[in-house]
């Protein structure tokens, strides 16, 4: 349970007063994102990797690609799984031990946005139907927390996927046999997640840690390259009206166009 101190109340009041004036505590417009920087190839031993800085939030994602058994009900598709971890150095409140509910939700939201967009064509990751497929595992590690890890981890994972090099296998007498050569993962679209917070009656994009602590509700909307919504996750105790949801949808689509250009730029020419 979160315990609110007098300082928390003063901070929320300050943020609310600024929002009434159409301003934010860090000077951004209500729908403005913080700066996004992406470095790829930061984990040499991974099949693909990326470091993303979203404002002062920093995440590294590594991609591991290996043969695996298919899930029993989808033997004609490969596997994609996304995980998340917060290092204790990322924030004073983070402790060692098993992931808590918020970290589990973080991994699931990032996983769902990529999976439901069908970014990776899993039908092309079959070595032998019902016997062996290629598994793609995206592991996000949070190095520094300053709010909105949903988007920071999503951008890290998608950037790592876009630049990953996949080994090739053929099914032989003893199972999957590694072949020579590498190739990019088969991708069909570029999903972009956009997270917004509701504070009072105000909707803001990409909340920093102070805004995150003060929000009444949040929503993450993921769109594909065609601008279609493919995943949505709501959190927090508060709710959104129909008009507020429409506003969130517009912000998500408009913001995703700019962010997609940044993500697309990491693809090797």
Give percent above pLDDT 90 in the chain. Answer: 87
Do residues 151 and 83 lie in contact, with contact meaning Cβ atoms separated by under 8 Å? Answer: no
Average pLDDT taken over every residue of the chain: 94
Q: What is the pLDDT of residues 163-176, one digit of tens each?
A: 999 999 999 988 99
Q: What is the mean pLDDT of the segment spanning 149-165?
A: 98
d(Cα 56, Cα 90) in Å, to the nearest integer?
11
d(Cα 34, Cα 221) in Å, to the nearest integer?
17
pTM of the model: 0.94
Instruction: Let me know if domain 24-264 sits in CATH 3.30.230.70.
Output: yes
Q: What is the pLDDT of residues 61-91, one digit of tens each?
A: 999 999 999 998 888 999 999 999 999 888 8
The owner of tokens 């088969």 is 186
Q: Is the pLDDT of residue 93 over 50?
A: yes
Q: What is the pLDDT of residues 16-75, one digit of tens each?
A: 999 999 999 999 999 999 999 999 999 999 999 999 999 999 999 999 999 999 998 888
**Number of neighbours of residue 42 by Cβ within 10 angstroms:** 15
């Amino acid at each position: 349970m979160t315990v609110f101190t007098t300082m928390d109340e003063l901070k929320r009041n300050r943020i609310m007063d600024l929002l009434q004036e159409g301003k934010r505590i860090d000077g951004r417009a209500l729908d403005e994102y913080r700066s996004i920087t992406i470095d790829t190839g930061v984990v040499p031993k991974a099949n693909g990797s990326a470091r993303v800085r979203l404002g002062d939030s920093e995440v590294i994602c590594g991609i591991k690609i290996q043969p695996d058994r298919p899930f029993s009900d989808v033997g004609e598709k490969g596997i994609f799984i996304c995980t998340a971890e917060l290092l204790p150095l990322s924030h004073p409140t983070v402790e060692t031990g098993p992931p808590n509910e918020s970290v589990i939700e973080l991994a699931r939201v990032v996983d769902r946005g990529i999976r439901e967009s069908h970014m990776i064509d899993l039908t092309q990751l079959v070595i032998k139907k019902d016997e062996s497929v290629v598994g793609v595992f995206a592991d996000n590690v949070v190095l520094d927390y300053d709010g909105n890890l949903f988007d920071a981890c999503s951008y890290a994972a998608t950037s790592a996927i876009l630049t990953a090099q996949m080994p090739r296998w053929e099914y032989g007498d003893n199972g999957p046999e590694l072949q020579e050569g590498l190739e990019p993962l088969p991708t069909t679209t570029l999903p972009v997640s956009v997270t917004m917070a509701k504070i009072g009656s105000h909707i803001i994009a990409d909340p920093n840690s102070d805004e995150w602590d003060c929000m009444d509700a949040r929503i993450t909307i993921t769109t594909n390259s065609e601008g279609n919504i493919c995943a949505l996750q709501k959190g927090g105790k508060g709710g959104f009206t129909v008009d507020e949801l429409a506003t969130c949808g517009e912000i998500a689509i408009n913001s995703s166009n700019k962010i997609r250009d940044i993500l697309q730029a990491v693809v090797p020419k």
